[in-house]
Structure 1
Amino acid sequence: MKKKQLIQKLVTVGFCASIGLTTMIATGADVTEAASSDSIATAKVSAVSGQQVVNYGKNFMGVPYKFGASTSTTKVFDCSSFTKYIFKKYGVTLPRTSAAQSKVGVAVSKANLQTGDLVFFSSGSRANGKNVTHVAVYAGNGKILHTYGSPGVTISNLNSGNWKKTYLKARRVL
């Protein structure tokens, strides 16, 4: 295959991956061969940005909170069903609970948070200061996108009030 053709196919594959058209990627022998290269795998993984996940999640602003909400509905969410749902759109499968979600991906310090990172807290009636009881998505600029209590899906300030006091850790899954 000529270099120009390979570059065109790489661009097409990267574009398809970035807009979620994964079924279009492996349509020919040369594309399948190209898709197995490390450069394509890296392009596919980095094609999903944390900002895309946050922007999608913002579509659910105000959706009510319900502890133990089903993962098959968007009429109500609890914190972990919300993160599970919005990440699933981009091919990231998360466990069901915030405690289980806190064990996937790679650890990231609070100082190095990037948009799309999962952030974990010990807050609410089940909190003890050590166990994860809440998950949110870092939305950038010190903000988190999450759901809890009466506001439902909302944006809060990570660095003030309850969220500053109950912050435990963060994980990167993108």
Structure 2
Amino acid sequence: MKKTIVAGAVLSTLFLGEKAVDAAQYTVKSGDSLWKIAQTFRTSVNELKTLNQLPTDIIYVGQVLQVPDANAQPTAPVTQPTAPTTQTTTYTIQRGDTLSTIARQYNTTVTRLLELNPSITDVNRIYVGQTLTVPTTNTTTNQLISPTPVTQPTAPTNSASKSYIVQPGDTLSTIAQKFNVTVNDLLALNPTITNVNFIRVGQTINVPLSWEERANAIIETGKKYIGAAYLFGAPTTRTDVFDCSSFTYRVYSENGITLPRTSREQAMVGTEVPLASVRKGDLIFFDTDGDGIINHVSIVVNSETLLHAATSTGVAFANMKPYWAPRAVKAVRLF
């Protein structure tokens, strides 16, 4: 698990205590971060920094670290849910599906679906008509189970799209290239198109929003709830109270993106980006206890500003400095 951290990503904390532990060596691999290594060896970022006298979170590929495990045998990361199954079946993706809703439908996790479908490289890019392998057995009784009904997000189906008028010379392929999507993406947004080779000049079709348009829409959605109180474990159906992850769940679902329920689960979807490279609409995750476990999530407004549901303020804007920046451990991009 090696990671080369971008030098600019210096959102870090200093651990002032000391802790005697048996240590062994671990070599940093591509893709590693202190947070990931801490999860793997069931320790905290602060303990790793203390063991290795690291003043910041910056590590590099090939670096040898001391880890608090005499045998130096990585254990499964505590945030990775497992859902072993003994039988599988296939499922054809329908309009409105996401990996999260499919996972709930089959009583499994997004992580397990990705294990069963290694051809999926982007958790947010699946298409109508695609065939997935899904589990069919209960992990404890090993009996066949039936999919449970799923409530779809309360977001309009075109929440991530806008209108485009077909011009002379346009084809679905050229339009897809223009908006940096696939033909299948366009077909999913335009179910009335039954012949991929037939569109007409002047026809209005739905096309995806740019990332900036989507990000602006997400921020505007979140601003609707400013002033709502904080309630730990708030149901995702309530909009008068939120906790941090029910807020992000609600805001993104209203913009056509369904997230898992908890901050730790939300940290496992999307594409990880360096903390120094976050942009509007990204999610940023925090470890406020210094124990190596994510316990808070916020929406990035800009490099200095967050929008979130915090215990002290409820839904509000917040400045990254001085409190939040040192506690940031990970950021993900969903679009």
TM-score by length of 2: 0.41
Q: Does the Cα contact within 8 Å between 2:284 and 2:330 map onto a contact in 1?
A: yes
1:131 paired residue number: 293
1:26–1:32 Cα contact (<8 Å) kept: no
User: Residues 15-94 of structure 1: matches in 2 within 5 Å?
Assistant: 25-30=190-195, 44=208, 46=210, 49-94=214-259
Task: Pick one of 255, 266, 269 that aligns with 1:101.
Answer: 266
- Assess if the C-alpha contact under 8 Å between 2:278 and 2:303 holds in 1: no
> Offset of 1:28 from its aligned partner?
3.1
What letter is aligned with 2:326?
Answer: K
1:8-30 CA deviation, whole Å, 9 max, x = no partner? 9x59xx8xxxxxxx997221324
User: Counterpart of 1:150 in 2: which secondary structure?
Assistant: coil
In structure 1, list runs of 5 or more residues that go unmatched.
15-21, 35-39
Q: Which letter maps to 2:225?
A: F
Residue number in structure 1 paired with 2:304: 142
CA contact (8 A) 2:279 2:303 kept: no
Task: Give the Å deviation of 1:6.
Answer: 3.6
* Cα distance change on mapping 1:151 and 1:26 into 2, 3 Å: same
Q: Which residue of 1 aligns with 2:168?
A: 4
Letter of the 2:311 counterpart: G
- In structure 1, the partner of 2:316 is 154
Q: Take 1:32 and 1:145, find their aligned partners in 2: how far apart are those partners?
A: 44
Give, in angstroms, the shift of residue 62 of structure 1.
0.8
Q: How many residues align?
A: 153
The structure in which a higher percent of residues are helix is 1
Question: Which ranges of structure 2 fall in alignment gaps of 5 or more residues?
Answer: 1-165, 180-186, 200-204
Q: Deviations over 1:41-72 (max 9, x none)?
A: 9x527465212101110111110010000001
Does 143-152 or 80-89 show the bigger shift? 143-152
- Runs of 4 or more, structure 1, over 3 Å off, are 5-8, 30-34, 45-48
Does the C-alpha gap of structure 1 residues 45 and 3 become closer, same or farther in structure 2, counting only changes over 3 Å? closer
1:82-109 CA distance string (max 9 Å, x none): 0000000111110000000011001111
Aligned to 1:167: 328
What amino acid is the match of 2:294?
A: V
- Aligned partners of 2:266, 2:189: CA distance in 1, in Å? 30
Alpha carbons 1:25, 1:31 under 8 Å: kept:
no
Which SS does the other structure have where 1:28 is aligned? coil
Which structure has more relative contact order (CA 8 Å, sep 6+)? It is 1
Fraction of identical pairs, as percent:
33
Tell me: CA distance 1:153–1:28, structure 2 relative to 1, closer, same or farther (3 Å). Answer: same
Give the 3 Å change call, closer, same or farther, for CA 31–90 of structure 1 in structure 2: farther
1: CA distance between counterparts of 2:323 and 2:169?
54
> Match of 1:166, as an amino acid?
R
Write the distance in 2 (CA, Å) between the matches of 1:32 and 1:156: 49
- For residue 156 of structure 1, what is the amino acid of its counterpart? A
Contact kept in structure 2, 1:25 and 1:32, CA below 8 Å:
no
Structure-1 residue corresponding to 2:36: none
Normalised to the residue count of structure 1, the TM-score between the two structures is: 0.76
1:18 aligned partner: none
8 Å contact kept, 2:281–2:300: yes
Cα distance in structure 1, aligned partners of 2:215 and 2:334: 9
2:234 and 2:169 map into 1 onto residues whose CA distance is 48
Match in the other structure for 2:280: 115
RMSD: 3.1
Structure 1 or 2, whichever has the larger Rg, is: 2
